[in-house]
Structure 1
Amino acid sequence: MNSIFKLSKQSQANTKKRFYFNCSANAFVILMACYYGLIINIPFMHGAFSAITSLHTFSWLFLFSVPLLLVCLLVIFFSLVSVRGLLKPINYLLLVLSSAALYGSLNYGVVFDYSMIQNAAETDSSEALSYLNLQLVGFLLLFGALPAFVLSRINVNCARPHKEILSRIKLLLACGALIALVVVNFYADYAATGRNNRILKKEIIPFQYLSSGYKYARDQLLYSDIKFKNIDTAPALAVSNATKVTVIVVGETARADNFAYQGYARNTNLFTQAHQVSYFDNVSSCGTATAVSVPCMFSLQTRSNFSRLESDNQQNVIDLMQQAGTDVLWIDNNSGCKNVCERVPTINIDTKKSPLCDGKYCFDEALLAPLKRKLANLSQANTVIVLHMMGSHGPTYFKRYPEKFKKFTPTCEQSDIQNCSQAQLINTYDNTIAYSDFVNAQVIAQLKALPTDIDKQFLYVSDHGESLGESGAYLHGFPYALAPSTQTHVPLYLWADEHNQGITPTCLNSLNHSQLLSHDAVFHTLLTMVGINTKTYQHSQDILAACSTKNSENTL
């Protein structure tokens, strides 16, 4: 410990002189723990101090015990990962990952729980690059590269193995004693603060992202050979005299609060209003990220018991439709269908072959051409087409609509959205909502153009919402239990052609549009819309139950 910062000079024989900080392995562990505890965990410390000082009465000793406890826990962690020979490589990697996590936490308010790790792992390169900006680069250089450079200049003096182990045990015992002292004196305070501020433990770096990353890797590697489950081996099309076409539009990052149908002051739904859609104003999402919500809404599982691992390995409603004899097509303008469309025909919009694309992204109007081709070549009596939008995906909202749709100004023309005013950010976001509404109106217009003897129907639902700087939160992906309603309250609306023999506008208008709904209802509502008889159908979860002519044998 006496050699923590002893500056020495290398041999004169070296052609290039280098200076090192000499320190013992224990001193190195303590230094890393202090850096993470006092710098990398600034969001956690700020949250903890705010939670404690907001109490009517609090103990200053309890307040100051928080950084002490955190540093002790980090000392234990770094003692375990600081393996001789791998000490520096492991810490180089942790510095890069942790500085990136710190950037996300400070600038967007995100926490890296399981769903966020999953979402990040399934993000394509174009989507990942949308987060790249000079501020991010500078941040990573300052909090990741610079400490890594300093680390490279530290010469860690490792003692003989038995002495090193003995010294490490003494350090761990000292930290254990301090932790026990804190717990004995402030257990009730920590329990109460943690219970009332559950997000705090999810903000501790690197514990949260390492734990979540391990769980995600475990599920992907160890459980990848799960046997595929058929939830119904004999779904069948209901008897119908009419040809039927159903278009499902999966919106992206559209929050209900910014829809005119929801009572929003701006008319962000100008185009679909002409088609008199039926809007439902009390719908919650299954998750706060695409990687959860999209597979969940098409799954028989509900939000309360949803497992992505299970949903990937069993039939979803799209599979049931195809098995029953429906002609199914998925057209994707996003980062993929999250395994939902894995077993049905799929078209992925080519970002390099359309004037609507810039090589990385396409405006959602690019979905209209393949839709038109499909509608002009209907080959079966029952057709389902799913359009997966780019919608309002951030942080580069300004890239989600053509220039002529820049209705609300000034806008935020950058990816570091936290540096725009909230007014600019909301203007830009509202433009994306208005543009998505235009595209949806064009989809409905294409359906209306089909012959009158074809039953035409349409469903739009967003996967999750978005935070736009409220309470310092941006984007989405928060743990569901802690997520603001802006991330979980989503828009859903239906349209049916007036000539339909099945679902009609009159019936849609008669429904309770303020009923409490969630993504759980999508599976069963689609069964009714498309006309699928299956033992999986649940009448109580069907939005269109009052419009349905299903007999009792189809109801569980």
Structure 2
Amino acid sequence: MKRQHSGFSRFFKSTPKTSTFIIFITLLNIALYNWPLFSFSLKNLDGITLNSLHTLLAVFAVIYLETALILYLLFLISRRLGKAVCVVLALANSLAVYFVVTYNVILDRTMMGNIFNTQYSESEQFLSPTLLVYFVLLGVIPAYLIMRSSIQKTSRIRLALHLVLTIVVISTFLWQSQSKWLWVDDHAKQLGGMTMPWSYVGNAARFQYSKSQENIVQTPLPDATFLSNNKTVVVLVIGESARAQNFSLYGYDRPTNPLLAASDVITLKNATSCASYTTAAVKCILSHHTPSGVFTENFEPLPSYLQRQGIDVIWRTKNWGEPPIKVSSYLSSGDLKQNCEGNECGYDGVLLSHLAEQIAASDKQKVFVVLHQTGSHGPSYYSKYPKEFEVFKPVCRSVELSKCTQAELINAYDNTILYNDHFLDQLRQTLAGIKDTSSAFLYVSDHGESLGEGGIYLHGTPYSIAPEQQLHVPFLVWMSPSFIDQQHINVDTLKSRESSTQANVFHSVMGAFDMRSEIYNKDLDMFGAASQP
């Protein structure tokens, strides 16, 4: 190890030519930061054969070509610029490799969107000693050596010739390896999401470009009419990282929903999310069209639409990631904490603080409330519930989830579901206590969660290859007796629904308020579909 290290250091002290430096950095990038990609490739090839080695060499050639191409172009502009970019990428690569190895994530566009929309209060939960080790050994040390290195000045013409030669040689090899392209294409999402640094660099740019293409001004939806003016309150609870598999209401063998199981809450079967990460899922929940539809316009979301039609809209959040909304009351957990009492003010329970009073204070006949939970967001599941809800023990208390036993991880996660059971039952009691008002709540999680199945943790896996644990979500409905009578609901019909999606939310809320417009879809209105003539 000492000889290798001294040889590594000697290279940076030897004042190499620019082309030599680029070749060395390219190979170093592959060796230090792309070994998870080659490990994945080996696991998915048919053993160590000549055919497999040829495929691995083709993958190596692709990474080498794209890395060398970018570096040559940067150094053609400026040696200082090239070195600066190498330093930044070394630091960023060390962090990226840690997350790929620790949580088995794929750094595609959706995952980069997830990262950009993560607030510090959540990101700090990922800090760990192992992350620091990765950052120092794979980031700080290489970055320091790169900064200290001296590079011989090379003419731009010579550097350009080296670039052309590299492109010709490697492109020729890749052209002769066409038989391996099919395997690469079959695993393109995984390979593309693990190629350092171009996975996160390219997909970060793709995400930002897609954001820039969104219309700044939302297109208003058609005005609506109301079939009645009954006093009605509807609450939408947007859960976080809750998966149906761990709800006893869905057959899980642990009592994670004891209170809801004893109540008149309806469990909707086979519910699915339209995305595996929060921002896309929440946008889908609040959208009037199905996720399969192709829309070029950025329509106003459900809360803004209802507010503009005269409904009093209250948004309470302990999370983030919602699209731009215009509502009469927007309260963050920080706002709610100011008047909160009890031991749940640091948890989702803060969302219920003085909720009944705020609803009662409204002078509107129709009130819509959104409660956006922090729910079961990982990796620190143990921090998402008060101590009295730590029923399943022992629990995982590390953010490096693979270091916990599967039992400890499941215990911590199940405790978050148990606390959510308490939260939803408290909401049920709150709504049931509002006099002379028809009320209902819908609860649906934004997406599910992976807890180590197949070596995958958390969420955000590309939708096309996301495991079912990230897409099958709980979807619950509660209705007051007066709401059932008002809407003429056949409860058995609602219970017998074969499947539901997040696309049902928008139109079901419209149906609950007896609201009709050109965009109302009765087929997606669960209440309308269950109404009796």
Return the TM-score normalized by structure 2. Answer: 0.91
**CA-to-partner distance for each residue in 1:451-498, whole Å, 9 max, x for gaps?**
2x3211111000000111111101111111111111111110111112
Pairwise mapping of residues 65-464 of structure 1 onto structure 2 (< 5 A)?
A: 65-82=58-75, 83-84=77-78, 85-159=80-154, 163=155, 165-195=156-186, 198-220=189-211, 222-223=212-213, 226-232=216-222, 234-240=223-229, 242-305=230-293, 310-311=297-298, 314-334=299-319, 336-350=320-334, 353=338, 362-451=346-435, 453-464=436-447
Q: CA deviation at 1:197?
A: 5.5
Q: Structure 2 stretches of 5 or more lacking a match?
A: 1-6
**1:60 maps to 2:57:** no
Provide the C-alpha distance between the structure 2 equivalents of 1:52 and 1:24, rounded to a whole number of angstroms. 38
- How far is 1:134 from its partner? 1.7
The separation in 2 between residues aligned to 1:518 and 1:283, in whole angstroms, is: 5
Letter in 1 for 2:300: Q
The structure whose residues are more often helix, as a share, is 2
Residue 41 of structure 2 corresponds to which residue in structure 1?
48
Please give the secondary structure, in 1, of the residue aligned with 2:196.
coil
Shift of 1:38: 2.0
User: What whole-Å deviation, never above 9, does each CA across 1:398-425 have from its counterpart, x for those lacking one?
Assistant: 1100111001011011222221111111
Give the conservation status (yes or no) of the 8 Å contact 2:224–2:515.
yes
> How far apart, in 1, do the equivalents of 2:9 and 2:89 lie?
26
**Distance (whole Å) between structure 2 residues aligned to residue 337 and residue 539 of structure 1:** 28
Partners in 1 of 2:8 and 2:414 — Cα distance? 55
Report how far residue 201 of structure 1 moved.
2.0
C-alpha spacing 1:57/1:258, structure 2 compared with 1 (3 Å): farther
Unpaired runs of 5+ residues, structure 1, are 9-18, 551-556
1:49–1:515 Cα change, 3 Å: same
Find the residue that maps to 1:411 and give its secondary structure: coil
Does the CA contact (< 8 Å) of 1:6 and 1:22 recur in 2? no
Q: Which residue of 2 is the match for residue 492 of structure 1?
A: 475
SS of the aligned residue for 1:99 comes to helix
Say what the alpha-carbon RMSD is for the aligned residues: 2.6
Q: Which amino acid aligns with 1:47?
A: F
Cα distance per residue 1:34-88 (max 9 Å; x no partner): 1221221122111122222359993433333432442233211221233412122
Residue 466 (structure 1) aligned with residue 449 (structure 2):
yes
Q: Secondary structure at the match of 2:45?
A: helix
Q: Is the 8 A contact 1:278 1:509 kept in 2?
A: no
Alignment partner of 2:292: what SS? Answer: helix
Distance in 2, matches of 1:25 and 1:337, equals 44
Q: Could you tell me how far 1:381 is from its partner in structure 2?
A: 1.1
Greater alpha carbon shift after TM alignment, 138-147 vs 397-406: 138-147
Distance 1:544 1:383, change over 3 A: same
- 1:347-368 deviations in Å (ceiling 9; x for gaps): 111186456689xx92111111
Moved more, 57-66 or 171-180: 57-66
Q: Normalized against structure 1, the TM-score is what? A: 0.88
**What is the aligned length?**
522
1:356–1:363 Cα contact (<8 Å) kept: no
